Amino acid sequence: MAKVELLIQSLTSTGSQKDAIIKLLDYKNIKRFIACSAFVREDGVKTIISHLKKIGSISTAYVGIRNGITSIQGLIALLKSGITIHVIDTGSLSILYHPKIYCAFNDSNALTLIGSTNLTFPGLVNNIESSALIDLNLQDDNDNIFNVMRNNFHGNPP
């Protein structure tokens, strides 16, 4: 059964979005990491770059572009960490790719952060952001739905 922790950055002592993402990146026996972020900036990537580099080869990021916020420098920083990137361009300035989901998987569990946090320095450190940090047991039928994410995101955005 899932264990859920509510994180509200800047309002609670346990709300650091940066610390939560680092916890995912340093997950025990990690086999795969998936990040979905509407916005990516170089300052956000550099905030966690040493952790990203450790798992870049098993990581995939789905990133929104054509939004006026994601920067080419942020995408290059992700690429330099070894992460496979898929950019999502909706073809419109009025429709954004907007999820913020980060998942780390090992053989039996998944640690997932779902909330408002983009991969930018303000999102990871300064903004008032809220997220749920969810620890899933993939042996539990209800929690196992996240295996769909681990097994099927090979180029198709969530």
Using 50, 70 and 90 to split pLDDT, how confident is the model at 93?
Answer: confident
pLDDT digits (tens, 9 = 90+) for 24-82: 999 999 999 999 999 999 999 999 999 999 999 999 999 999 999 999 999 999 999 99
Mean of pLDDT values over 10-32? 92
**Distance (Å, whole) CA 156 – CA 135:** 24
Residue extents of the structural domains in the chain? 3-152
> What pLDDT does residue 144 have?
80
CA-CA distance, 80 to 127, in Å (whole number)? 26
- Per the listing, tokens 């090979």 go with 154
- How is residue 134 written in tokens? 């969810």
pTM to 2 decimal places: 0.91
Could you say which architecture CATH assigns to the domain 3-152?
2-Layer Sandwich (3.30)
Find out whether 38 and 97 touch, Cβ atoms under 8 Å.
Answer: yes
What does the pLDDT read at residue 1?
Answer: 85
pLDDT at 109: 94
Quote the pLDDT of residue 149.
65
- What pLDDT, on a 0 to 100 scale, did the predictor assign at position 142? 83
Residue 137, amino acid: N
Give residue 153's pLDDT. 61
